[in-house]
Chain A
Amino acid sequence: MRHSLIVILIAAAAACSRDRAAAPATAGFSGTAERHYGLGRTATAEEIAARDIDVAPDGEGLPAGSGSAALGAELFQQKCSMCHGPKGQGMPPAFPQLIGRDPRAEGFKFASDFKLQHTIGNYWPQATTVFDYVRRAMPLLQPGSLTNNEVYSLTAFLLASNEVIPMTATLDSASLVQVKMPYAGRFVPDNRRGGNEVK
């Protein structure tokens, strides 16, 4: 993962350097604590904690707590099924399919057939993204209403019903980071650079 990120970084920097050539030269950031305009105020630790709910693939930001796929199955019926369907079949595109692994969509053949549904099991590269997204955005009509334990439970259920982990699994911060997604290795950096080549 680290290696591929470095490649992405180099690619992004290269892409931007072309733009910089036409713009005034810019330097990197200095990291100085000296304020130039003096606008705004120092944010408190509490203010930062209240907003900083993001979770990264290395586990940074994952909260304490845990939840089981079994409990997640019950929560899914209570809080998710009205939009995504009792069997998680979804109503694409507004409400994506969440449960199941369509054999036709295995092997990452999405480019050849746009009717194949991208799902957690057959597409998503990181398991931590499930936790982060459910916690920040779901349920649609009551976003941000789930407890951390509920989010762990739903994450476990969604991963289990996508055949990524066993339905007997319980997830916490340590175990979620260890989950390997089936098609994580398929994601590659942007290699488009303009010029006389169509990519």
Chain B
Amino acid sequence: MPMPTIRKPTSPDGPAGRADAPATSDETLSRRDLLAGAAGAIGVAVAAGLPMVAGGQGAKPAVPALPLVPVDPTKVPGRPTSPVGSRSTFVTPSRTPTGETVGNSLTPLQDLTGTITPADLHFERHHAGVPFIDPARHTLLIHGLVATPLMLTVDEVRRFPPVTRTFFLECSGNGRTAYREPKPDMTPQKVGGLFSNTEWTGVPLKVLLEEAGAKPTAAWFLAEGGDACVLTRSIPIAKALDDALVVWAQNGEPLRPEQGFPLRLLLPGWEGNTSVKWLRRLELGMRPWMTRWETSKYTDPLPDGTARQFSFEQDAKSIITAPAFPQVLGKGWWPVSGLAWTGRGRVTKVEVSTDGGRSWHEAELTPTTGVKAPVRFTLPWQWDGKEALLLSRATDDTGYVQPTRAELLKVRGIGTDFHFNPIVGWKVAADGKVTFHGET
């Protein structure tokens, strides 16, 4: 991709040429050419799976400097204010939509830092498409073993005293392909992108259920979504008494439709499917309903010929998000950085190995206060140009240590259908190429 020419200022001290001015000489390309060139460059980079942010990769920038960029931004007035912000032209993270109604779309873990997932990059998993819901017509019904069956509008739900808390969501199918058929050309997104983390705002579920006069005899509740499959899950009432929320906001703004607008259940630390989106009904009862999503799906076949059911909690897990495929490293310092989480409480320790597990080094955790929220871990590492194998291993406050894939294969089998939390990592070849390593 040749570097497009940018028109230079007419004189060193004169007014700078407008980058989007019509082409008038050989020095410039037309705006259409420039835009086409930019789109082409991005397209090529995406097709090649190259990192979209140039620089810091230790190799040639994956994307040439884009057109329309002034040679010296201090010599051109910037653009005016805008109603909604947008990412830099140079930053183009993307989920992985399939175009199917029934499917998923993964968070680009390799493009994110810190721990919060931008709302528009939160992973998607839905079973009958994303419904188009008018919040003014949406209501939440609470009935069953209650003193007063309640019908609440969205506005009324929002008038209960709100709480704001950070929790991760992980689909319990996350990592299935990497567990069953690991391949060198898998990215962090492909390995573990059914994972996101959000600052949610909502009301504790127990407040809503108490308002309806939930009876002490209620042992389970059914949560139902307002999508085209009217998805339902049975949840033990203990979760409602513990930390369950009904949320309406995501990182400071109303939920995105893909995340359940206008209301969703949020069950911290539990498999994502139980945090029912587009929540429209809660029924309290004495026993589970045995819905399709807790029998046919979201159950875990085991080697002893049984299947684990109501396997809610997400086991402790970690993934290095950089360095990762398809990066190419040069010798020198590289922070080994990634995310770690547990559905049972806090991550107390993340260890990183650069020699395939022969030795482990405790990584720095930021932040360290989250419960059922991820930590970002980082270990500074100096690559000496020799083959290396980077691995990460999380420990949580129950004393659980993230297992190897071999350990999981032994107790769960290759065909287990949900809950995949093996240690995974990245091989660094002598030429600096980084590839996925799943066979731990």
Residues of A within 8 A of B (CB): 2, 5, 8-9, 12-13, 15-20, 22-23, 26-37, 39-43, 47-48, 51-58, 94, 107-114, 116, 118, 120, 123-126, 128-129, 132-133, 136-137, 140, 143-144, 186-199
B21 interfacial by beta-carbon distance below 8 Å: no
Give CA–CA (A38, B241) in the complex, Å.
21
Question: Other CB < 8 Å A-B pairs besides A5-B288, A26-B241, 16 of them?
Answer: A9-B220, A16-B241, A17-B238, A40-B151, A40-B153, A48-B149, A111-B415, A118-B417, A124-B295, A128-B290, A140-B128, A186-B306, A187-B309, A190-B312, A192-B313, A194-B316
Give CA–CA (A165, B87) in the complex, Å.
58
Whether the Cβ atoms of B238 and A43 lie closer than 8 Å is no
| Complex interface: stretch among B12-20, B34-42, B223-231 | B223-231
Whether the Cβ atoms of B417 and A110 lie closer than 8 Å is yes
- Among candidates B232, B287, B302, residue contacting A111 with C-beta atoms closer than 8 Å: B302
B92 interfacial by beta-carbon distance below 8 Å: no
Whether the Cβ atoms of B310 and A190 lie closer than 8 Å is yes
A50 to B: closest C-beta gap in Å: 9
- Residues of A within 8 Å of B150, CB to CB, are 40-43
- Among candidates B160, B281, B371, residue contacting A39 with C-beta atoms closer than 8 Å: B160
A91 to B: closest C-beta gap in Å: 11
Residues of B within 8 A of A (CB): 100-103, 127-128, 141-143, 147-153, 156-157, 159-160, 180, 206, 209-211, 213-220, 222, 224, 228-232, 236-239, 241-243, 269, 280-281, 283, 285, 287-292, 295-296, 299, 301-303, 305-313, 315-316, 342, 344-345, 371, 396, 398-401, 403, 407-408, 411-417
- Among candidates A23, A31, A140, residue contacting B147 with C-beta atoms closer than 8 Å: A31
Give CA–CA (A195, B315) in the complex, Å.
10
A111-B415, A194-B399 in contact; A42/B216 too (CB < 8 A)?
Answer: no
Of listed A13, A27, A31, A94, residue having the most chain B CB within 10 A? A31
- Residues of B within 8 Å of A42, CB to CB, are 148-151
A12-B238, A54-B283 in contact; A198/B407 too (CB < 8 A)?
Answer: yes
Whether the Cβ atoms of B398 and A33 lie closer than 8 Å is no
B356 to A: closest C-beta gap in Å: 20
Q: Tell me what chain A mostly uses at the interface: helix, strand, loop, or mixed.
A: loop
Q: Tell me what chain B mostly uses at the interface: helix, strand, loop, or mixed.
A: loop
A16-B236, A23-B243, A198-B403 in contact; A192/B311 too (CB < 8 A)?
Answer: yes
Whether the Cβ atoms of A15 and B216 lie closer than 8 Å is no
9 A–B contacts, CB within 8 A, in A order: A16-B241, A23-B242, A39-B157, A110-B417, A125-B309, A140-B101, A140-B102, A190-B308, A190-B310
Nearest CB in chain B to that of A198: its residue: B403
Nearest CB in chain B to that of A186: its residue: B306
Whether the Cβ atoms of B413 and A112 lie closer than 8 Å is yes
Whether the Cβ atoms of A35 and B309 lie closer than 8 Å is no
- Residues of B within 8 Å of A110, CB to CB, are 301, 307, 413, 415-417
Give CA–CA (A140, B206) in the complex, Å.
34
A2 to B: closest C-beta gap in Å: 8
A7 to B: closest C-beta gap in Å: 11
Give CA–CA (A36, B204) in the complex, Å.
14
Whether the Cβ atoms of A52 and B160 lie closer than 8 Å is no
B180 to A: closest C-beta gap in Å: 5
A183 to B: closest C-beta gap in Å: 8
- Residues of B within 8 Å of A112, CB to CB, are 303, 413-415
- Residues of B within 8 Å of A57, CB to CB, are 289-290
- Residues of B within 8 Å of A20, CB to CB, are 241-242
Whether the Cβ atoms of A133 and B292 lie closer than 8 Å is yes
Whether the Cβ atoms of B280 and A51 lie closer than 8 Å is yes
Whether the Cβ atoms of B241 and A54 lie closer than 8 Å is no
- Among candidates B141, B232, B400, residue contacting A43 with C-beta atoms closer than 8 Å: B141
- Residues of B within 8 Å of A36, CB to CB, are 210-211
Across the A-B interface, give the 8 residue pairs with the lowest CB-CB distance, nearest first. A111-B413, A194-B398, A137-B229, A110-B301, A12-B236, A29-B214, A33-B147, A40-B152
Give CA–CA (A15, B408) in the complex, Å.
21
Give CA–CA (A108, B206) in the complex, Å.
39
A18-B344, A32-B147, A41-B150 in contact; A51/B311 too (CB < 8 A)?
Answer: no
- Residues of B within 8 Å of A144, CB to CB, are 230
